A and B are shown apart, each in its own frame.
Chain A
């Protein structure tokens, strides 16, 4: 079958899955007075439309955004409108980026590229949050992906512009900012700081500053306004973590109530230190040896470090880690699929609250089948396939019998999947004990956190032991 027809079929499949998920309930449906993210987005539309910057919007029903009187507005037509906006944003920004990215992948056949698109488009986490819970993550993730594309293909200015747009759309994208910074800095160093590199550095700084100024111009009118924006964007007053999230602080606080023991500013300092210590090695390596491949892996490990150790992390922030993992799906299919399954599972309490059980189960199974058939992931569990060859060789210098790594990893995978399925069944069918009403969510978060720690170690190993860039020409990318 011709390439573009197959690609069209794959994209249509992705869109169909997205729209059918959107037929379900959204966050906060019918739950006054707080409602949920859906009401939040509607409210923001209300604010931005009515207050200063007025735009012409012929097709919007004024009742949906009437100032004040439209609080908590819920109707079928409005739901259709909101869902359609998500689909259009997705179609315009995220999906083209995914297609272009997969088409630019090197050393794999056309069929595999299209299969890659299918798997990325079927990633359950993004679909369930954007089309179920209701958010617009595909915009920021799409822009970030355009940024990755630009920077990997040596269109540095366009790439950084796209990434600046991503940050200014959603400040969570700052999780990805360090790898971008280190990669571009590394490129400048490589080109030589006395000549071309310096010129590139100047051009990049100007691009970044200009795009920030453009986005923030309407809010620069007063210093107080700028401070208020910053305060809203970075709510340090809200504490180390909120609700149940699969990161270190929440897991540690099961045993040790950090929130109560340590004062606020100490918490901030500790979280800052841990985050930066865990991502420093990868970033330094990226600055010294910039390569698109290293860039991708560093994106993963940086975002994961931020997710695990940072301040005020929401469970939805795992999507910021999932996007880079989707990008390395073709290189390490087995581990990536495993990670993406865990990332969806880690959001289980949130999805159950939004009554998205059936879509979650169905999309997860669809994703798993797509990956399993496209990449034959279960046959790709040797050392070489897991990119752990150089690491194993180094370890074998001290421990000659260290040959069991792939088998350990396989057992870990089976255990992980088994516990995930078991915990899902338990959460859905049983009631938690009276004394511990949050037991199941805490277990989900704790289990996911353990998995994520394992992945943090794994991805850092790949980055640090990735010495094949120079020697083996096949692996350069």
Chain B
């Protein structure tokens, strides 16, 4: 009995947390799922029933395969389990097939693959050097970090309601970060290379990895003032890193190179025909840009400065995924966004090169790369905010300043995901879970850093509280007003613009803290 007691008792809080959130995920099985459910069912069907040469050409369904080959192989592996649940889902022509067994299989596959995410969190908890806290379990940085990652609201609703497979992908990313913290650079590089070939969105943070590995791994020593010691360059290390990346890429793209399908694969992976903004504007810089354009065009029309005939008929806010042009401000091209993104990333990358601060500095650069790409990228999905929020959790338990930035980023980022779940039965779930996560995160971090100055100033507090009335207006008041028919996009626009302000502010604050940090940290973590 005592053995059972130890196993289930206070000794193993991590398992209790992990098990608890898994049970919650099981309860979310009957919730609404988006078209992504059909996307993955289709990919199961494609990889199972067709030969490899057809995978990137198959177009019976509109949801064509647009992830790198490793993910296709992953779906292939899953399909071999799927056939025991419901053979019909593997038929390519069974569009929108969603029997109860299919639903069960798909949901359980997400829950099951999250085990990698749980393992990664376990590894991350070993590496963080959080603020020294008291003996109380719930005030230990490891505990708080585990809850912030395991019970992350964004990941829960995107993966387990909306339906995607981000859990294990973030597991790979966090695991590679943990390995870099543990000075196991080769493993970290390998894991990241594998991750890139699962989902290429992680290219956003590739510069951070590249520069960090080059600077802090290939150059084995630093001068006393922290700058690079050129003669400590290790060719062996560089070659081995290159070899790892090359081998992984060869394994992934090799078969398609052999079939001469590389251009087709690349065109599927990088579809630039889509517009600047997604159907729902991600809360990034371009959302503000679009809003400003709209406002100026309305003002221009009112003041008779613009000719109504010259304005393009299709409105950017009608929710269609096509290419549009701006009316007043200059139109934005994919190249422009690339340049803006690169310019936004450059300072942080320079910081990583000239003022290396070990793994912690790398993590900050990673987050800044992810955030900058989110803010200035082309056709960004609002779900991409998770790329910044999850790694930021690792920093949040370290310093009060980082905790403050994390809270602003996560609260606004999570709120911006609300439009993903627009059905009535899911409304209480998203509000309850959001409140749960927000109250916990703010309260626990405030308690952790209670001896330092308060986490938020009055402006930030006001802004965060403003999310409440915004939600009430968008979900409860607006649908009953007369504007609903005339301007149905107003709630989306308001949400997007309001959150864009918060996210841009967090990005700016993080940049300032990175650039003004002392250049050489004489801590043990070097």
Contacts and interface: CB of A to CB of B under 8 A. Distances in A.
Interface string A375-411: 0111101000000000000000000000000000010
B428 interface: yes
A358 interface: yes
A2 B443 contact: yes
A379 B429 contact: no
A381 B5 CA distance: 11
A378 B433 contact: no
Interface in B409-456: 424-425, 428-429, 432-433, 435-436, 439-440, 443-444, 447
A122 B4 CA distance: 22
Given A17-B27, A365-B23, A12 B432 contact: yes
B329 interface: no
A9 B5 contact: no
B5 A19 contact: no
A15 B9 contact: no
B2 interface: yes
A253 interface: no
A420 interface: no
Nearest to B25: A362
Contacts of A358: 26-27, 29
A21 B27 contact: yes
Interface in B1-57: 1-2, 4-5, 8-10, 13, 16, 19-20, 23-24, 26-31
Interface in A59-96: 76-77, 80, 87
B138 interface: yes
A429 interface: no
A20 B28 contact: yes
Contacts of B433: 12, 16
B27 A5 contact: no
Most A-side CB within 10 Å, residue of B1, B439, B447: B1
A378 B2 CA distance: 7
A288 B20 CA distance: 45
A23 B31 contact: yes
A461 interface: no
Contacts of A379: 2, 5, 9
B436 A369 contact: no
B133 to A, nearest CB: 12
A366 interface: yes
B5 A378 contact: yes
Contacts of A363: 23, 27
A42 B119 CA distance: 48
Contacts of B27: 17, 20-21, 358-359, 362-363
A8 B439 contact: yes
A373 B439 contact: no
B428 A366 contact: no
Contacts of B30: 20, 23-24
Interface in A1-28: 1-2, 5-6, 8-9, 12-13, 15-17, 19-21, 23-24
B16 A369 contact: yes
A9 B447 CA distance: 15
Contacts of B10: 373, 376
A21 B428 CA distance: 12
B432 A1 contact: no
A5 B439 contact: yes
A6 B1 CA distance: 30
Interface string B343-368: 00000000000000000000000000
A372 interface: yes
Given A9-B439, A23-B425, A15 B1 contact: no
Report whether over half of chain A's contact residues are helix, strand or loop; otherwise say mixed: helix
Given A12-B435, A358-B26, A410-B1, A1 B443 contact: yes
Nearest to A370: B20
A16 B138 contact: no
Contacts of A372: 8-9
A358 B439 CA distance: 29
Contacts of B443: 1-2, 5-6, 9
B428 A19 contact: yes
Interface in B496-525: none
Nearest to B138: A1
Given A376-B9, A379-B5, A16 B425 contact: no
B429 A80 contact: no
B9 A378 contact: yes
B444 A369 contact: no
Nearest to B13: A373
Interface in B224-265: none
A13 B20 CA distance: 11
Given A16-B432, A19-B432, A80-B425, A366 B447 contact: no
A372 B8 CA distance: 6
Most B-side CB within 10 Å, residue of A20, A24, A358: A20
Nearest to B440: A9
A9 B8 contact: no
A439 to B, nearest CB: 26
Nearest to A20: B27
Contact of A373 (B2, B16, B23, B440): B16
A376 B9 CA distance: 5
Given A12-B432, A13-B436, A369 B425 contact: no
A431 to B, nearest CB: 19
A23 B433 CA distance: 15
Contacts of A80: 424-425
A16 B429 contact: yes
Contacts of B138: 1
Contact of B428 (A13, A87, A359, A410): A87
Nearest to B443: A5
Contacts of A381: 1
A218 to B, nearest CB: 34
Contact of A366 (B20, B28, B444): B20
Contact of A1 (B16, B20, B31, B444): B444
Interface string A354-366: 0000110011011
Interface string A335-371: 0000000000000000000000011001101100100
Nearest to B26: A362
A369 to B, nearest CB: 6
Contacts of B447: 1-2
A76 B30 CA distance: 14
Given A9-B439, A19-B428, A369 B2 contact: no
A16 B24 contact: yes
A15 B424 contact: no
Contacts of B428: 15, 19, 87
A385 to B, nearest CB: 12
Contacts of A366: 20, 23-24
Contacts of B20: 366, 369
A17 B8 CA distance: 21
Most B-side CB within 10 Å, residue of A1, A13, A87: A1
A376 B1 contact: no
Nearest to B8: A372
Interface of A: 1-2, 5-6, 8-9, 12-13, 15-17, 19-21, 23-24, 76-77, 80, 87, 358-359, 362-363, 365-366, 369, 372-373, 376-379, 381, 410
A-B pairs with lowest CB-CB distance, top 5: A378-B5, A5-B443, A20-B27, A372-B8, A12-B436
Given A12-B439, A23-B425, 15 more contacts: A1-B139, A1-B443, A5-B443, A9-B436, A15-B432, A16-B433, A19-B428, A19-B432, A20-B27, A20-B28, A358-B27, A358-B29, A363-B23, A378-B1, A379-B2
19 contacts: A1-B444, A5-B440, A9-B439, A9-B440, A12-B432, A12-B435, A12-B436, A16-B436, A17-B24, A19-B432, A23-B30, A362-B23, A363-B27, A369-B16, A369-B19, A373-B13, A376-B9, A378-B9, A379-B5
